[in-house]
Amino acid sequence: MNILLRDKVAMVTGASRGIGRAIALDMARAGADIILASRKQDELEKVADEIRAIGRRALPVAAHIGKMPDIVNLVNKAIKSFKRIDILVNNAAANPTMDPAIFASERAWDTIMNLNLKGLFFLSQAVAQIMKDTGTGVIINIASVSGILAHTTLPVYAISKAGVIHATKIMAADWAQYGIRVNTISPGQVKTHLSQALWSNPEIYAMMLERTPLKRMAEPAEIASAAVFLASDCASYITGQNFLIDGGISLI
């Protein structure tokens, strides 16, 4: 495990908790130095300390990926510190509403799309321009099983994640000529802060387990191990794919 990403430089967004934190730590254990991004610097510093304890370098940068100036600042700081970016994990996401589609507001739509899709695309574009010059790179986008199933519980979030899955295909097809591989991981229900409104409600939690063949939620580490694989040379001929890690939800 500690040689899969030896001396690579990985940028992980939404890295202060949940899936992003787990990916950042696993990539550090696999030998990578990590650029950490999320909106709260103090929370990033804690993860940075964990990475340094592993023996790898860490650069925590407070950034709202839904804002273009923050994307520019993040990339500039990364290049100033590390000179390159070998791996980008687009994990940052938001879902401020559980309103059904018929009542979804424009404000909620813009908040979700700006971070989950627009920010993801333009950060990927900025990093791809750097990877292009080196002739190699890996981008991993974190989507959701909601992006392929018509889950009406989180309609705008689901639409944004469907966009992420297709954006991955476009990026993979267009950027393969530069040696850049792009794949998606689509988790099912993962026990994180983002999904707490679901799993902390006993009735909703029971419904979730009922429709999951494995009868449990995933842990962030189970998503992280897949990300390390996709970022490594073990996956050197894989691009444009959507990896479902959903406990079998998409089977029924």
Catalytic residues: 157
| Cβ contacts of 42 within 8 Å, gap of 6 or more | none
CB–CB of 171/139 below 8 Å? yes
Sign of CA dihedral 93, 24, 173, 73: positive
The 3-state DSSP composition of the chain as helix, strand, coil percent (nearest 5) reads: 50, 15, 30
**For residues 186 and 189, what is the distance between their CA atoms, to the nearest angstrom?**
10
- Taking the C-alpha atoms of residue 251 and residue 214, their distance in angstroms, rounded to an integer, is 11
**Residues constituting the chain:** 252
232 contacts 29 by C-beta, under 8 angstroms? no
| Helix residue ranges per DSSP H, the chain | 18-29, 41-54, 68-82, 106-113, 120-134, 155-175, 196-199, 202-210, 220-231
| Structure-token pair, residue 150 | 């018509």
Q: Is 213 exposed, middle or buried (0-12, 13-18, 19+ CB in 10 A)?
A: exposed
- Six-digit token pair at 68? 């273009």
